[in-house]
Amino acid sequence: MISRDFSIRNANADEFEAIGQLMVSVYSQLEGFPGPSEQPEYYRMLANIGELTQKPATQLLVAMAPDGTIGGAVVYFSDMQFYGSGGTATQEKNTSGFRLLAVDPAFRGQGLGYLLIYACIQRARQFNHKQVVIHSTIAMQVAWKMYEKLGFTRYEALDFMQGALPVFGFRLAL
Protein backbone atom coordinates (compact mmCIF):
# COMPACT_ATOMS: atom_id res chain seq x y z
CA MET A 1 0.00 0.00 0.00
CA ILE A 2 1.34 3.45 -0.86
CA SER A 3 0.41 6.92 0.32
CA ARG A 4 -1.96 7.65 -2.56
CA ASP A 5 -4.22 4.94 -1.14
CA PHE A 6 -4.58 6.91 2.09
CA SER A 7 -6.96 9.78 2.70
CA ILE A 8 -6.31 12.57 5.19
CA ARG A 9 -9.28 13.72 7.24
CA ASN A 10 -10.29 14.83 10.72
CA ALA A 11 -10.26 11.88 13.09
CA ASN A 12 -13.56 10.63 14.45
CA ALA A 13 -14.05 10.33 18.20
CA ASP A 14 -14.22 6.54 17.95
CA GLU A 15 -10.66 6.59 16.50
CA PHE A 16 -9.08 8.68 19.28
CA GLU A 17 -8.07 5.71 21.44
CA ALA A 18 -6.33 3.87 18.58
CA ILE A 19 -4.56 7.08 17.53
CA GLY A 20 -3.44 7.62 21.13
CA GLN A 21 -2.04 4.09 21.25
CA LEU A 22 -0.19 4.73 17.98
CA MET A 23 1.25 7.98 19.37
CA VAL A 24 2.47 6.33 22.58
CA SER A 25 3.98 3.43 20.64
CA VAL A 26 5.80 5.64 18.13
CA TYR A 27 7.14 8.18 20.62
CA SER A 28 8.20 5.59 23.23
CA GLN A 29 10.29 3.81 20.58
CA LEU A 30 12.28 6.90 19.54
CA GLU A 31 15.91 6.36 20.42
CA GLY A 32 17.10 9.13 22.72
CA PHE A 33 13.59 10.43 23.46
CA PRO A 34 12.32 10.41 27.06
CA GLY A 35 10.15 7.41 27.85
CA PRO A 36 6.85 7.20 29.72
CA SER A 37 8.54 6.91 33.13
CA GLU A 38 10.58 10.07 32.46
CA GLN A 39 7.70 12.19 31.12
CA PRO A 40 4.46 10.58 32.30
CA GLU A 41 2.33 13.68 31.63
CA TYR A 42 3.54 13.87 28.05
CA TYR A 43 2.61 10.24 27.46
CA ARG A 44 -0.75 10.73 29.17
CA MET A 45 -1.39 13.53 26.69
CA LEU A 46 -0.38 11.27 23.79
CA ALA A 47 -2.62 8.44 25.00
CA ASN A 48 -5.52 10.89 25.26
CA ILE A 49 -4.69 12.76 22.05
CA GLY A 50 -8.36 13.21 21.17
CA GLU A 51 -8.77 15.58 24.14
CA LEU A 52 -6.76 18.17 22.22
CA THR A 53 -9.65 18.52 19.77
CA GLN A 54 -11.67 20.11 22.58
CA LYS A 55 -9.45 23.17 22.24
CA PRO A 56 -10.70 25.76 19.74
CA ALA A 57 -9.00 25.82 16.34
CA THR A 58 -7.44 22.38 16.88
CA GLN A 59 -7.82 19.35 14.61
CA LEU A 60 -6.56 15.80 14.90
CA LEU A 61 -5.83 14.68 11.34
CA VAL A 62 -5.57 11.01 10.48
CA ALA A 63 -4.13 9.16 7.47
CA MET A 64 -6.68 6.46 6.78
CA ALA A 65 -6.28 3.47 4.46
CA PRO A 66 -9.29 2.34 2.41
CA ASP A 67 -9.66 -0.67 4.73
CA GLY A 68 -9.91 1.59 7.81
CA THR A 69 -6.32 1.10 8.96
CA ILE A 70 -4.84 4.16 10.67
CA GLY A 71 -1.46 4.86 9.10
CA GLY A 72 -0.58 8.02 10.99
CA ALA A 73 -1.85 11.20 12.59
CA VAL A 74 -0.92 14.77 13.47
CA VAL A 75 -2.45 17.60 15.51
CA TYR A 76 -3.02 20.86 13.62
CA PHE A 77 -3.48 24.26 15.31
CA SER A 78 -4.89 27.25 13.43
CA ASP A 79 -4.60 29.40 16.57
CA MET A 80 -1.19 29.20 18.19
CA GLN A 81 -2.45 30.13 21.66
CA PHE A 82 -3.66 26.50 21.87
CA TYR A 83 -0.41 24.97 20.56
CA GLY A 84 0.61 23.92 24.04
CA SER A 85 4.40 23.86 23.84
CA GLY A 86 7.08 25.58 25.80
CA GLY A 87 8.93 28.56 24.43
CA THR A 88 7.39 31.43 22.51
CA ALA A 89 5.41 29.56 19.81
CA THR A 90 2.07 30.33 21.45
CA GLN A 91 2.75 34.05 20.89
CA GLU A 92 3.19 33.72 17.11
CA LYS A 93 0.52 35.63 15.15
CA ASN A 94 -0.94 34.90 11.73
CA THR A 95 0.56 31.43 12.13
CA SER A 96 -0.52 27.81 12.10
CA GLY A 97 1.35 24.96 13.71
CA PHE A 98 1.36 21.21 14.01
CA ARG A 99 2.67 18.85 16.65
CA LEU A 100 2.71 15.20 17.51
CA LEU A 101 3.20 13.75 14.05
CA ALA A 102 3.31 9.95 14.15
CA VAL A 103 3.38 7.36 11.37
CA ASP A 104 2.88 3.67 12.06
CA PRO A 105 6.24 1.93 11.48
CA ALA A 106 4.48 -0.46 9.07
CA PHE A 107 3.81 2.47 6.73
CA ARG A 108 7.03 4.46 7.03
CA GLY A 109 8.78 5.45 3.85
CA GLN A 110 5.53 5.59 1.90
CA GLY A 111 4.87 9.32 2.09
CA LEU A 112 2.30 9.45 4.89
CA GLY A 113 4.32 12.01 6.85
CA TYR A 114 4.37 14.25 3.78
CA LEU A 115 0.62 13.84 3.27
CA LEU A 116 -0.12 14.79 6.87
CA ILE A 117 2.21 17.80 6.77
CA TYR A 118 0.84 18.92 3.42
CA ALA A 119 -2.70 18.79 4.86
CA CYS A 120 -1.53 21.10 7.66
CA ILE A 121 0.09 23.48 5.17
CA GLN A 122 -3.09 23.56 3.08
CA ARG A 123 -5.15 24.40 6.16
CA ALA A 124 -2.74 27.21 7.04
CA ARG A 125 -3.15 28.62 3.54
CA GLN A 126 -6.94 28.47 3.89
CA PHE A 127 -6.58 30.66 6.98
CA ASN A 128 -4.28 33.01 5.00
CA HIS A 129 -1.55 32.48 7.57
CA LYS A 130 1.95 33.71 6.79
CA GLN A 131 3.81 30.75 8.29
CA VAL A 132 3.61 27.27 9.78
CA VAL A 133 5.73 26.47 12.84
CA ILE A 134 6.71 23.15 14.35
CA HIS A 135 9.02 21.70 16.98
CA SER A 136 11.25 18.66 16.92
CA THR A 137 14.01 17.00 18.94
CA ILE A 138 17.31 15.31 18.09
CA ALA A 139 15.51 11.95 18.49
CA MET A 140 13.27 12.99 15.58
CA GLN A 141 16.12 14.16 13.35
CA VAL A 142 15.15 11.75 10.57
CA ALA A 143 12.01 13.88 10.08
CA TRP A 144 14.11 17.05 9.78
CA LYS A 145 15.08 16.09 6.23
CA MET A 146 11.41 15.76 5.34
CA TYR A 147 10.66 19.18 6.86
CA GLU A 148 13.55 20.73 4.93
CA LYS A 149 12.36 19.17 1.63
CA LEU A 150 8.99 20.82 2.26
CA GLY A 151 10.69 24.21 2.78
CA PHE A 152 10.89 24.43 6.58
CA THR A 153 13.97 26.13 8.01
CA ARG A 154 15.34 26.21 11.54
CA TYR A 155 13.75 28.99 13.60
CA GLU A 156 15.91 29.30 16.70
CA ALA A 157 13.62 31.90 18.28
CA LEU A 158 11.22 29.01 19.01
CA ASP A 159 13.79 26.73 20.65
CA PHE A 160 13.23 25.82 24.30
CA MET A 161 14.13 23.22 26.92
CA GLN A 162 11.54 20.66 28.03
CA GLY A 163 13.22 19.67 31.25
CA ALA A 164 16.62 18.38 30.11
CA LEU A 165 15.39 17.84 26.52
CA PRO A 166 16.32 20.49 23.91
CA VAL A 167 13.39 21.23 21.57
CA PHE A 168 14.08 22.89 18.22
CA GLY A 169 11.80 25.22 16.26
CA PHE A 170 11.21 25.23 12.52
CA ARG A 171 9.07 27.41 10.28
CA LEU A 172 7.75 27.47 6.77
CA ALA A 173 7.03 30.88 5.25
CA LEU A 174 3.86 30.82 3.15
Mean pLDDT over each residue of the chain, to the nearest integer:
94
What pLDDT sits at residue 165? 87
95-126 tens-digit pLDDT: 999 999 999 999 998 999 999 999 999 999 99
Q: Read off the pLDDT of residues 69-81 as tens digits, 9 standing for 90 and up.
A: 999 999 999 999 9
Q: Is 97 exposed, middle or buried (0-12, 13-18, 19+ CB in 10 A)?
A: buried
Q: Which CATH number does the domain housing residue 105 bear?
A: 3.40.630.30
2, pLDDT greater than 70? no
pTM above 0.75, yes or no: yes
What is residue 128's DSSP assignment? Answer: T
Instruction: Evaluate if residue 146 carries a pLDDT over 60.
Output: yes
User: What domain count does the chain have?
Assistant: 1
Instruction: Give me Rg for the CA atoms of the chain.
Output: 15
75 CB contacts (<8 Å, ≥6 apart)?
Answer: 49, 52, 58, 59, 60, 61, 98, 99, 100
Tell me what pLDDT residue 142 has: 84
Parent domain of 51: 3-173
